[in-house]
Structure 1
Amino acid sequence: MSFLEVIIKILVILLVFSALAGFGTYLDRKFLGLIQKRLGPTHVGPWGLLQVLADGIKLFLKEDILPQNSNMIIFRLAPIIAVATAFIAMAPIPFLPEFEIFGKTIRPIVSDINVGILFVLSVSAVGMYGPLLAGMSSGSKYSLIGAARAVSQLLSFEVVSGLSILAPIMIVGSLSLIDINNYQSQSIFDWLIFSQPIAFVLFLIAGYAETNRTPFDLLEHEAEIVSGYITEYSGLKWGIFFIGEYANMFTLSFIVSIIFFGGFNPIGFVPGGIAILLKVAFFIFLFIWVRATLPHIRPDQLMSLCWKVLMPIAIINILITGFIII
C-alpha cells in the first residue's frame, strides 16, 4: 500500500465520519422525537435536515470562552485528544469488503495489523485522557469532579470490555479483525453471537458506558446543573467532544458487527458491503432506542453493576469457553 493511498484513506475516514457525526445528532433528535411522540427537528430545511448545518454554523460562530484560572494549553489540547483517539481507533477496522475501481483493488482499511482489536481497545482507552485533562485544566471544581467521575467510569468498563472480548478471541485464535471476519464466512451459523451471546451483551453494555450513552451518560450528565468535565467549554471545542463521541458510536457499531455478526460477509443474496452497513445502521438505531427508553442510573449503581455483576460474569464466561476449547 502506497503512502498516498494511506493518506487518501485517512482523509476519507475523517471526512465521512465527521459528517456522519453531525448527521448522528439529527438522527438522535429525530428518532427520539418519533419514539417519545414529540417533534424533532422540523423547521430548518425539508424534514429539518438542514438543522445539522445550522448547528454547525452556530458552533463555529459562538464565542470561544477561556476560563481565567484554566491551563490554556491543556484546556485547548483536551478536545483534540478526545477526537483524535476516536478516529485513530478506526485504523485497523475493515469497513467494507475489497472492491475494484478502474481495475485497481481497494481495501477499505487503513492498516491491517495482526492485533487489530487490541489496537482499538488500547487507543480507545487513551481517549480517557481527553475528559481527564479537560476537567483538570478548567480551573473549576465542578469540572474536576466530573473528570474524576468520568475516569472512574471509563477505567472500570475498559476492564469489562477487555475481559468480554477475550472469549471470542480464544475461539478464533487471532486478534486481527480480518481474521475474525473470515472465521464467520462459511454460514450465518458461524457468527460468534451464537457461540458467545454473553460476551456480546457484556461488550455492548461496556461500549455504551465508554461512549457515554444513556443510561450510562454520567460523564456529562444532561440532567444536572453543571455538565461534568465540559462545563467550562463552549463553541467549537464543545462540539469537538461530541464529534468524538459519535465517532466512537460508529466504531463500536462496526466492531460489534465484525466480531459477533459476521462482519462484511454476504448474507444470501445480500452483498457483504450492504450487509455490514445494515448491521451498523441497526446498532446506531439501537443506541438511539435505548436512549429514548431507559432512565439514567446513579454513579454508585453503575460501579456496582460493573464490578459486582459484569466483571464476574465475564470471568466465568472466559473460564467456560476455555474448558470447552480444551
Structure 2
Amino acid sequence: MELLDIGIKFILIVVIFLISLVVAMYSTYAERKVAAFFQDRVGPNRAGPWGILQPLADGGKMFMKEEIIPTRASGLLFIVGPSLAIMTACIGSAVIPWGQSLQFGSRTVDLQVTDINVGILYIFGVVSLGVYGIMIGGWASNNKYSLLGAIRAASQNISYEVSMGLSIIALIMVSGSLSLKDIAAQQHGFWANGYFTWNFFKQPLGFIIFIVCAFAETNRSPFDLPECETELVGGYHTEYSSMKLGFYLFAEYINMFISSAVMATLYFGGYNYPFMDSVAASVGPNAAVILGVVLMFAKVFGFIFFFMWVRWTIPRFRYDQLMNLGWRTLIPLAIFNIVLTGLFMTFFK
C-alpha cells in the first residue's frame, strides 16, 4: 500500500470517528427534543438558537464535574470499564461501507475503512466485547445496584445475540457472503429483473427479529433493564461521574448509530437508491456516490429516530418478560425463518 493510500485511510478513519462522536453528541439533543414533542413540551431552548448548543453545554459540564472514585471500588477496573465500552463502540464502524468508491483520475478512494470477508462476524465480535465494559464497570463499582445492572446487561446480551445471529444466517443464505461490501453491492438500485433488490423485501421476518435484538443489544427502551432507574437507581453506571459517565452514555448513542448503519446496510440497501444508474449518467459518478452517502445517512437517522420514538412510546418490560421474549419467541421465530428461507431457495429460486 502506498503512503498516499495510507494517508487517505487515516483521514477516512478520523472523519468517521468524528462523525460518530458528533452524531452521538447531537443524538442526546434529538432525544430530548423528540421526548418533548411526544410529551407536548418545548425541550432544550436556552443554549443557543432552539437549544442547538445544549450538547456542548452538557459536554462542558461532564468535563468540569468532580471526578469521584468510590473508596472500595477496584481502581484500575473502574477506569477500564467505560474505556472499553467507548472503544468497542467506536471500532464497529470500520467494516461499514458508507458509499461506493470515488474516482479521481486513475485513483480509487473507497468509502470504507476496510473490507474483510467476514465483516458480519467482525460486527458480532465487537458487539460481544462491548458488554465486557458494562460488566467490568458494574463489578468494579462495588455497588449492589451496579452489579445487578451489569448482570442484567450480560445475560440480556447473551440471550439476544443468539436470536440476532440466527436472523443473520438467513440473510447470509440469501446473499452468499459475509462481507458487508458484497451485501450492499447486491442491493444495487431498488428494482431489478422484476424483483426488489433490498434485503428487507427478501427477509422481512429476519429484519423484525434483528431490529428487536438491536434494541436489546444497545440497552434501549423497552429493553433498558441494565440501567432501570426505578429499580436500580442508575444501573451499572450508578457510581460513575464526570467523563467516565459520559463515556458510558456516549457509547450507548454510538452503538445506536452503528446499529442503525448496520441495519441500513444489511436490509435497506445502504448507499443504494432507486434509479442510481440514471442519476450517475446525468450528474456524473462521483456526484451519484455523494448522493448515495447522503441517503445512507438519511436512512441511519431514520432508524435513530425510530429508536427514540420507541423509547418514549412503549413502557419497559419486566425482566422475566424480556428473557421469555428472547428465548421462547425470537429464537423459534429465527429458526423458522431459516427453514422458510431454505425451502424458498430450494423450490422457488
- TM (norm. structure 1) is 0.96
Distance of aligned partners of 1:40 and 1:100 in 2 relative to their CA distance in 1, 3 Å threshold: farther
**CA–CA separation in structure 1 for the residues paired with 2:88 and 2:304:** 20
Does the 8 A contact of 2:153 with 2:219 survive in 1?
no
**CA–CA separation in structure 1 for the residues paired with 2:78 and 2:304:** 31
Which residue does the alignment assign to 1:290? Answer: 310
Which residue does the alignment assign to 2:323? Answer: 303
Alpha-carbon distance, 1:105 to partner: 3.1
Q: Give the superposed CA RMSD.
A: 1.6
Give CA-to-partner distance per residue, 1:261-317, whole Å, 9 cap, x none.
Answer: 111113235842232122112111111111111111111110011001011100111
**CA–CA separation in structure 2 for the residues paired with 1:104 and 1:246:** 35
Asked if residue 255 in structure 1 is aligned to residue 262 in structure 2, the reply is: yes
Give CA-to-partner distance per residue, 1:218-242, whole Å, 9 cap, x none.
Answer: 1111334511111110110000011
Say which is worse superposed, 16-25 or 265-274, in terms of deviation.
265-274
Distance of aligned partners of 1:186 and 1:39 in 2 relative to their CA distance in 1, 3 Å threshold: closer
SS at match of 1:105: strand
1:75-224 to structure 2, matched below 5 A, reads 75-100=78-103, 104-188=107-191, 189-224=196-231
**CA–CA separation in structure 1 for the residues paired with 2:255 and 2:77:** 22
Give CA-to-partner distance per residue, 1:138-190, whole Å, 9 cap, x none.
Answer: 11122111111110111111111111111011110000011101111153411
**CA–CA separation in structure 1 for the residues paired with 2:239 and 2:292:** 44
Alpha-carbon distance, 1:27 to partner: 0.5
SS at match of 2:307: helix
Give CA-to-partner distance per residue, 1:112-153, whole Å, 9 cap, x none.
Answer: 101111101111111110111001111112211111111011
**CA–CA separation in structure 1 for the residues paired with 2:255 and 2:68:** 26
Alpha-carbon distance, 1:61 to partner: 0.3
Does the 8 A contact of 1:267 with 1:275 survive in 2?
no
SS at match of 2:108: strand
| Rg larger for | 2
Runs in 1 of length 4+ with deviation above 6 angstroms?
none
- 1:311 is matched by which residue type in structure 2? I
- TM (norm. structure 2) is 0.90
**CA–CA separation in structure 1 for the residues paired with 2:42 and 2:231:** 23
Give CA-to-partner distance per residue, 1:250-271, whole Å, 9 cap, x none.
Answer: 1111111111111111323584
Task: State percent identity of aligned pairs.
Answer: 45
SS at match of 1:39: coil
1:16-31 to structure 2, matched below 5 A, reads 16-31=19-34
- 2:6 is matched by which residue type in structure 1? F
Asked if residue 38 in structure 1 is aligned to residue 55 in structure 2, the reply is: no
Does the 8 A contact of 1:64 with 1:234 survive in 2?
yes
**CA–CA separation in structure 2 for the residues paired with 1:13 and 1:101:** 21
Question: Unpaired segments of 5 or more residues in structure 2?
Answer: 280-287
Does the 8 A contact of 2:149 with 2:232 survive in 1?
no
Distance of aligned partners of 1:148 and 1:225 in 2 relative to their CA distance in 1, 3 Å threshold: closer
Does the 8 A contact of 2:146 with 2:232 survive in 1?
no
Does the 8 A contact of 1:22 with 1:52 survive in 2?
yes
